[in-house]
Structure 1
Amino acid sequence: MRSYHYTLFAAVITVFVSGCGDKKSETTSSGTDDSSITMDAPPPTTVDVHVHPTEGPHHGSLIELGNEEYHAELVHDEDSVTIYILNGPATEAVPIDAKEVTINLLHDGTPEQFKLAASADAADPSGKSSRFSLSDAELVGHIDDESAAPKLMVTINGTPYRGELAHDHDHAGHDH
């Protein structure tokens, strides 16, 4: 019985040692041996080349909705605020069946809510809108205030989305 264990042990060692030889190259898929190809390390990690848009088609700041499933674009002047609903890459309008979208914010620590009514764009189909507007000097006054922590609330195809409004003051060609 002892000789059986020694034989088994010797067989395992032989298989282990023969499988651990120095491999200088691997055979390529064409069946030729190319010594410049080695497979000693894992393949390099891929780089995320996903481009994040920085400005909307109306030159407004973007609001991410979901995991970039959609974007909203914030455009405002001294008298009014407009929100455009856009696709994930923020390149095209997405008309939705909502009658309004909501901006929630804090003013001196007190929550306030502003409803922006649907204001269909010329290209929007009947009963849907990709544009929502409100003329309200109070909202305009708070929209860029970081302490107001403004958030957009919108429902798209039955799914509620919330996005933070972070306005960039460093872009050129934009009036406040």
Structure 2
Amino acid sequence: MRLKTNTLAIALLSSVFMVGCQPTSPPTDGPQPDLHEDHDQADGHDGHAHPEHGPNGGELLELGAEEYHAELLHDDDAQTVTINLLDSAAKEAVTIPDQEVTLNVKADGSGSQFKLTSTGEGEANSTFTSEDAKLIELLEGEHADITLVVTIAGKQYRGQMHHDHAHGEEGHDHAH
């Protein structure tokens, strides 16, 4: 009887250890699917793919947790700075009722604030411009830290970027 009890105890312990050592999911043959294949891991934005430029070729500022984007265009020929408000995919225009947005620029150790005014009228504004010579001068400098302040759907957003103006580089497009 003692032999049966010992054999039964050993069998139970062996089954517990065998069950505890099993992998949590059964192995499959062939390559495993990439559960994140729609993400670009090399872009530095939490594994999500992002466009590098806006629909007009401008630099993008992220607003919120990618809820919206803003495209910054600096046109040397027209001497204008333009902000276009865009959706989360940075493709379609987003409108706000405000007639202006604020751009804070820090360059050469000092900060300045600029108001960009809507190019439209009424409550559906998505494009804002400035011809302020000082703003254009700061953006033409070597480096500038830019913060856009805008309210969309009742929530204030701050989009930040570091703007490098690479002088003397071939192929550098100033309409950014």
**TM-score normalised to structure 2 length:** 0.70
Residue in 2 that maps onto 1:70: 68
Q: Where does structure 2 lack aligned partners over 5 or more consecutive residues?
A: 41-47
Change (3 A) 1:60 1:171: farther
Distance 2:16 2:70 in 1: 61
Match of 2:49 among 20, 43, 51: 51
Match of 1:157 among 134, 153, 158: 153
Residue in 2 that maps onto 1:29: none
Residue in 2 that maps onto 1:30: none
Q: In the alignment, is the contact (CA less than 8 A) between 1:63 and 1:166 conserved in 2?
A: no
Distance 2:61 2:170 in 1: 16
Q: In the alignment, is the contact (CA less than 8 A) between 1:143 and 1:150 conserved in 2?
A: no
Q: In the alignment, is the contact (CA less than 8 A) between 1:153 and 1:161 conserved in 2?
A: yes
What is the total number of aligned residue pairs between the two structures? 159
Tell me the alpha carbon deviations over residues 105-145 of structure 1, each in whole angstroms, 9 at most, x when there is no partner. 22442321101111128xxxx41200011111110111254
Offset of 1:37 from its aligned partner? 3.9
Residue in 1 that maps onto 2:119: 119
Letter in 2 for 1:174: D
Distance 1:107 1:46 in 2: 39
Change (3 A) 1:172 1:92: farther
- What is the 5 A alignment of 1:90-129? 90-120=90-120, 126-129=122-125
- Bigger radius of gyration among the two: 1
Q: In the alignment, is the contact (CA less than 8 A) between 1:101 and 1:117 conserved in 2?
A: yes
Letter in 2 for 1:53: P
Q: Where does structure 1 lack aligned partners over 5 or more consecutive residues?
A: 27-35
Residue in 2 that maps onto 1:33: none
Structure 1 outlier segments of 4+, above 6 Å: 20-23
3-state DSSP of counterpart to 2:52:
coil
Residue in 2 that maps onto 1:148: 144
Root-mean-square deviation (Å): 3.8
Offset of 1:11 from its aligned partner? 5.6
